[in-house]
């Protein structure tokens, strides 16, 4: 009755009784600490500390963590301490060929989507989900052709798989144009086209 008299709870009255029943049950089971308004630990800090594990084990490209107060009404309604609310989304991308020129490696050429803001690591992670032959991501070297137009058309020379190619650094950031279906990469203030093919080597 007290909760029903609160104007801010009027529209939530259907949920009040189940909420009260849940709190009562938790109180009997776990004691008065269930009435605490804050958790005993910093939930956000724990999630951020484990974000790499969560990203990899859930096979996601990226996890953005925000407070419920910064989200829309649906999240504000359903999110509560100890029970984070997940929203999944798919970002548009531009398809690029991933070429592996190593002979007898058992690794195949494939296509993956490059998304705006991608880094070298995010591309390698996405590649490893498509190509299960890649076990150790730290051994993957990502490269681009010096000449993005002619480079992919040249026949690779045995033992010279890196010739005519440049390594992509950790600081590189990828940019896409969905209208033109093109991919550019920026590094140290320089922007360059990468064409429609990247090269990966497993060392």
Q: CA 110: distance to chain centroid?
A: 20
Q: Which residues pair with 172 in a beta bridge?
A: none
Is residue 142 a contact partner of residue 198, using CB atoms and an 8 Å limit?
Answer: yes
- Structural contact between residues 110 and 131, judged by C-beta atoms closer than 8 angstroms: yes
Angle, CA of 65, 70 and 75, to the nearest 5°: 80
Question: What percent helix, strand, coil does the chain show, rounded to 5?
Answer: 35, 20, 45
Contact yes or no for 97/109 (Cβ under 8 A): yes
pLDDT tens profile 40-88: 788 888 988 998 888 878 888 888 888 888 888 878 777 777 788 888 8
pTM for this model (two decimals):
0.67
- Model confidence band, residue 183 (pLDDT cutoffs 50, 70, 90): very high
Fold adopted by 93-202? Ubiquitin-like (UB roll) (3.10.20)
Residue 33 DSSP one-character state = G
Determine phi and psi for 106, rounding to 5 degrees. Answer: 80, 5
Q: What percent of the chain has pLDDT over 90?
A: 33
Higher pLDDT, 170 or 40: 170
> Where do the H-state alpha helices sit in 34-144?
43-49, 51-57, 73-78, 120-130
Closest C-alpha to 32, from 40, 42, 22, 24:
24
pLDDT tens, position by position, 57-69: 888 888 888 888 8
Residue corresponding to tokens 């996890």:
63
**143 C-beta neighbours (distance < 10 Å), count:** 19
Q: Which tokens is 189 given?
A: 């203030």
Q: In the prediction, which pLDDT does 131 show?
A: 84
Residue 113: its pLDDT value, please? 93
Quote the CA–CA distance of 39 and 37 in Å, as a whole number. 7
Selected residue with higher pLDDT from 117 and 75: 117
Helix (H, G, I), strand (E, B) or coil at 138: helix
CATH 3.10.20 maps onto the chain at 93-202
């Amino acid at each position: 009755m007290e909760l029903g008299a609160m104007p801010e709870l009027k529209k939530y009255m259907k949920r009040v009784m189940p909420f009260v029943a849940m709190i009562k049950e938790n109180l009997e089971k776990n004691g008065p600490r269930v009435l605490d308004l804050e958790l005993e630990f910093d939930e956000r800090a724990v999630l951020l500390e484990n974000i790499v594990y969560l990203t990899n084990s859930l096979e996601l490209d990226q996890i953005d963590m925000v407070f419920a107060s910064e989200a829309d009404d649906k999240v504000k309604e359903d999110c509560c301490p100890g029970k984070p609310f997940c929203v999944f989304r798919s970002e548009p991308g531009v398809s690029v060929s991933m070429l592996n020129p190593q002979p007898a490696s058992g690794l195949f050429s494939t296509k993956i989507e490059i998304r705006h803001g991608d880094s070298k690591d995010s591309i390698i992670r996405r590649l490893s989900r498509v190509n299960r032959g890649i076990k150790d991501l730290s051994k993957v070297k990502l490269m681009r052709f010096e000449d993005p137009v002619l480079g992919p058309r040249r026949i690779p020379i045995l033992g010279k798989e890196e010739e005519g190619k440049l390594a992509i650094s950790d600081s590189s950031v990828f940019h896409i144009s969905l209208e033109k279906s093109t991919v550019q990469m920026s590094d140290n203030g320089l922007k360059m086209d990468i064409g429609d093919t990247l090269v990966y080597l497993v060392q």
